[in-house]
Amino acid sequence: MKVLYGTTTVGLVTKTAAIVAADRRASSGTYIAHKMVKKIVKISDHAVLTTAGLVADTQVLASLLRIKATEYVLSNKAKIPIKSLASYLSIILNSYKYYPFIVQFILAGYDDKPRLYNIEFFGDYFEETYTATGSGSPVAIGVLESEYRADMSVDEAVALAVKAVRSSIRRDVFTGEAVDVAIVKPNGIEERSYSAGW
């Protein structure tokens, strides 16, 4: 089930990193509520989550995911596998299907290799090489589909992610302001910011 919420987030993987990008606009119906929202949330030093949907729902679920990642480290003296984080979030979403959280997520991380998961409304999740969420996703996914290559360098992948979000900024009224990027590598997370590209 594809549910569209006001924003655009994208993700893609290369051989050495997982990359996500998101716009900065928060909307409430047709009202632009904020222009500097951070939609990429750090879960641990090897995982990030992009958020689309109701702000309160995304915040509480991101907090639960951070707690789970921390508990795992304390119990196992190792980083939690990215698939385990995706599965945990999936269980929570599915258990609330009669009173659902209004969210879509992209979970990106690096354990034994770069990982990217699209996590849907009722907890369905899929490992992807590239994906997009939010109201601008129909535009963004077209850009990714036409230009993504498995052998892209990190800089090429970042440029493509930024291009996909900028394309949505031009066509989707709920997407705007700027583009944030997070690059998850074996040695940690690098963050970058870009203009809307006008």
Percent of the chain with pLDDT over 70: 97
Q: Residue 168 pLDDT more than 90? A: yes
**Measured between alpha carbons, how far is 118 from 49 in angstroms, rounded to an integer?**
10
Helix (H, G, I), strand (E, B) or coil at 53: strand
Residue 3, pLDDT score: 47
Q: Residue 4 pLDDT more than 80? A: no
Residue 98, pLDDT score: 87
Residue 48 confidence class, pLDDT cut points 50, 70, 90: very high
Catalytic residues: 7
Q: Residue 174 pLDDT more than 50? A: yes
Domain boundaries, the chain: 9-195
Residue 153 confidence class, pLDDT cut points 50, 70, 90: very high
DSSP state of 80: P
Residue 160, pLDDT score: 98
Residue 1, pLDDT score: 39
Residue 46, pLDDT score: 97
Q: Residue 154 pLDDT more than 90? A: yes
137-146: pLDDT as tens digits: 999 999 999 9
Picking from 119, 103, 102, the residue whose alpha carbon sits closest to that of residue 47 is 119
**Measured between alpha carbons, how far is 148 from 145 in angstroms, rounded to an integer?**
6
Q: What mean pLDDT comes out for the span 48-64?
A: 94
- Element (DSSP H or E) covering residue 78: none
Choices 3.30.70.100, 3.10.450.50, 3.60.20.10, 3.40.50.1950: CATH for 9-195: 3.60.20.10
Q: Residue 118 pLDDT more than 90? A: yes
Q: Residue 171 pLDDT more than 60? A: yes
